[in-house]
Chain A
Amino acid sequence: MKEIIKNALILFAITLVSSVLLAIAFQVTEEPISVQKIKQRDAAFATVIPDATFEEIVDLDFSEYEKIDSVYVAKKADEIIGYTFKLITNEGYSAGIEMVVGVSIEGTITGIDVMRHAETPGLGALADEADFKNQFVSKPLGELSTVKGVSSNDTQISAISGATITSKAVTNAVNEAVTYYNNELKEGN
Chain B
Amino acid sequence: MDLLLLFIGAIIVNNVVLSRFLGICPFLGVSKKVETSIGMGLAVTFVLTLASIISYIVYTFLLVPRELEYLSTITFILVIAALVQFVEMVIQKTSPALYQALGVFLPLITTNCAVLGVAVINMTNKYSLFSSIINGLGTAIGFTLAIVLMAGIREKIDYNNVPKPFKGYPIVLLTAGLMAIAFLGFTGLIK
Contact = CB atoms under 8 A, between A and B. Distances in A.
Q: Do chains A and B touch in the complex (CB under 8 A)?
A: yes
A91 B124 CA distance: 13
Given A90-B125, A96-B124, A165 B191 contact: yes
Interface size range of chain B in the complex: under 10
A62 interface: no
Q: Identify whether the interface residues of A are mostly helix, strand, loop, or mixed.
A: helix
A interface, how many residues as a size bin?
Answer: 10 to 19
Nearest to A95: B124
A19 B71 contact: yes
A62 to B, nearest CB: 13
B70 interface: yes
Interface of A: 15, 18-19, 22, 26, 90-91, 95-96, 165, 168
A22 B191 CA distance: 40
CB-CB nearest 10 A-B residue pairs:
A26-B70, A90-B125, A165-B191, A22-B71, A22-B70, A19-B71, A18-B74, A96-B124, A95-B124, A91-B191
Contacts of B98: none
B182 interface: no
A19 B72 CA distance: 11
A168 B187 CA distance: 14
A143 to B, nearest CB: 18
Nearest to B191: A165
Interface in B86-137: 124-125
A26 B78 CA distance: 20
